[in-house]
A = this chain, B = another copy of it.
Amino acid sequence: MVKKTENKEKVTLIVFSQDFDKVIASFIIANGAAAMGSEVTMFFTFWGINVLRNKNVNGKGKNVVEKMFGLMMPKGVSKLKLSRLNMGGFGTRMMKKVMTKKNVASLDSLVESAQEIGIKLVICQMSMDLMGIKKDEIIDGVEYGGVATYIGDATQSKVNLFI
């Protein structure tokens, strides 16, 4: 039996950023909203598409510029950096350590929980095209969409954020 979702509040987040801190905030809000009964969509665009890259895969059939962008952008959640106080990686490492110590879920497990709890992860195809990221580089369980997908979700949502 399919659960009816018509009466659920909808929450739609645009994840534009690839900063560790903003991405953590996105997933904490998304998972929190889903846990409280909302129907949540996260729409990954521009730098945000790097969040969903599979760290073990190299895209095939790339031209020089695409290869260059691909190398310079982070390959998935484990490579994201704090937007401030990164200090060559030291600040981000410290933050991750403190998160473990304080029992805050890691970004890896936040993404996993998001998928388990039924949060819809949509990735912007135009951004992938512009940055030369191929579908085989993206983690499983992600939908592909464009601005029309986003507007469709956003205009039905109670909470919309651009992160």
Contacts and interface: CB of A to CB of B under 8 A. Distances in A.
**Count class of interface residues, chain A:** 35 or more
Contact of A161 (B14, B73, B147, B155): B14
Interface in A121-163: 126, 129-130, 132, 147-148, 150-152, 154-155, 157-163
> How many copies of this chain are found per oligomer?
3
Contact of A160 (B16, B130, B161): B161
Contacts of A69: 85, 94
Given A28-B147, A155-B9, A157-B159, A22 B16 contact: yes
A36 interface: yes
A57 interface: no
B38 A21 contact: no
Interface of A: 9, 11, 14, 16, 18, 21-22, 25, 28-29, 32-33, 36, 38, 45-47, 65, 69, 72-73, 83-85, 94-95, 98-99, 102, 104, 126, 129-130, 132, 147-148, 150-152, 154-155, 157-163
Given A36-B148, A98-B132, 5 more contacts: A25-B45, A32-B147, A32-B151, A69-B94, A162-B163
25 contacts: A11-B154, A14-B161, A16-B163, A29-B150, A29-B151, A32-B151, A33-B155, A36-B148, A36-B152, A38-B155, A47-B83, A65-B94, A69-B85, A69-B94, A73-B85, A99-B130, A104-B126, A104-B129, A104-B130, A151-B159, A155-B158, A157-B159, A159-B160, A160-B160, A161-B161
